[in-house]
Structure 1
């Protein structure tokens, strides 16, 4: 009897459901950590960054952490409900590292050691950027899960990108030759942060929540600049917001054109 070769569906590597549970556990852990660390004072992660920088976002901007944490848990639960096989092993490992790094960062911020905090954020930045690039390159089904995953990972990665430069600036003040009231070097750091935000926005083909988180941080910086009377910071932050928005729009338009039938 003749036989035919029927293509088999691609199989995900074994152990992915275990990773999905680990993602959920890590997501919950990072939410509980601030309650334990800041429970007595009711603080929010990042609001007490040490040095009072000229490029630090205004306090209320850090409320975005509530949205970030909610989306992280919702996405982890959705993956378990829909099926852990819908997402890749690399994506799940990246999120575990990101969320555990977030828990470590919260613990380090309580110690007041800005160098350790910046190191923890470096780990978070690497994991977050890898996660958002992975999400941008992967096809996730069904569509609602893809939208939720892009929203959760994009928002987290965008905010961490901005936060990394803030924490490095604090470490430079605490351990380096710069002063907190010197404007020039902080303008350079802000420019580097904007370059990173724009570059990653383009590379992700314009994931909206990544650009939105970066723009939100810049709005907070612009408000700080206005309050402090540092016109250069305010103007640069406002120009940067436009650049991030334009980069996101251009990247999405280019992606649609590339996907359009010839």
Structure 2
């Protein structure tokens, strides 16, 4: 099999396995509990409202688009897709590992799977943007945007997972100290989101963080420090995204600026 065809097949099989495992987690569900029930076991202040998890449908739709796009004969020699394939395979393996260890509540390994997934997505993000060559419109929408959405949500999920592990280890303060820690994490998430939005002209990543923060604010409306901080950070990110979009439309983020940002 030619290298391009092998790469294409591996990417499709890895994504199919990931989607199948996620389907099992919902359909069975794995270990008798769905994802929402497992989340509700941990009364922590960083978990968003349940509706926020519907973003997985958008992420997986985008990844299916990526799988189809990279399988096109015209893309089999695309060097950017070739560079990200090993990390994409790692991300699929980490995603499957995360699902299994989450549903079987093996949190010590679960957090390692989540960190591996986040690391793989950061690597994909960086490799896609390496060099000065700009992608075409199709590649931007079918490769760049799906991985921006994916990395954005896994950024949020990592924050939640860290607090879950802390809770399970005995740090179960959901009072003032817990609220303050949650608020601090929201500020950190906002700094990351606005930095990426501005430096890489990437509103998609930042909008995922806004989505998550609004869902957190709604779920924890009874905790003023948590809800107000989440609303405030979501507003700040939204303003930066609006500014970034205007700058992009006006040509304020050309190739030279992106290259310097990298």
TM over 0.5: yes
Matched, 1:62 2:53: yes
Consecutive aligned runs of 4 or more in structure 1 exceeding 6 Å deviation:
none
**What TM-score results when the alignment is normalised by the length of structure 2?**
0.82
Does 2:189 correspond to 1:201?
no
Q: Which has the higher helix share?
A: 2
Deviation at 1:191, TM superposition (A): 2.5
* Distance in 2 (alpha carbons) for counterparts of 1:54 and 1:109: 19
Q: Does 1:131 align with 2:119?
A: no
Return the TM-score normalized by structure 1: 0.82
User: Once structures 1 and 2 are overlaid, which stretch shifts more, 65-74 or 192-201?
Assistant: 192-201
Match for 1:211 among 206, 215, 218? 206
For 1:81-230, list aligned pairs within 5 A. 81=72, 82-88=74-80, 89-137=82-130, 139=133, 141-181=135-175, 182-203=178-199, 205-226=200-221, 229-230=222-223
Other-structure match for 2:23: 35
Q: Deviations over 1:134-179 (max 9, x none)?
A: 3344646542122221221111011001110000000011114342
Matched with 1:11 is none
Equivalent pairs counted in the alignment come to 245
Q: Distance in 1 between matches of 2:84 and 2:47?
A: 30
Q: Is the 8 A contact 1:47 1:59 kept in 2?
A: no
Describe the shift of the 1:34–1:257 C-alpha distance in structure 2 as closer, same or farther (beyond 3 A). Answer: closer
Shift of 1:184: 2.2
Gaps of 5+ in 1: 1-13
* Structure index of larger Rg: 1
Cα 1:260–1:185 shift into 2, 3 Å: closer
Conserved? CA contact 2:183–2:230, under 8 Å: no
Tell me what 1:245 maps to: 238
CA shift at 1:236, angstroms? 1.1
Let me know the Cα RMSD of the aligned residues.
2.6
Secondary structure of 2:251's match? Answer: helix
Does the residue aligned with 1:57 lie in a helix, a strand or coil? coil
Distance 1:45 1:153 in 2: 22
Contact persistence 1:57–1:221 (CA under 8 A)? yes
Flag the 1:47–1:245 CA change in 2: closer, same or farther, 3 A. Answer: farther
1:75–1:149 CA contact under 8 A, matched in 2:
yes
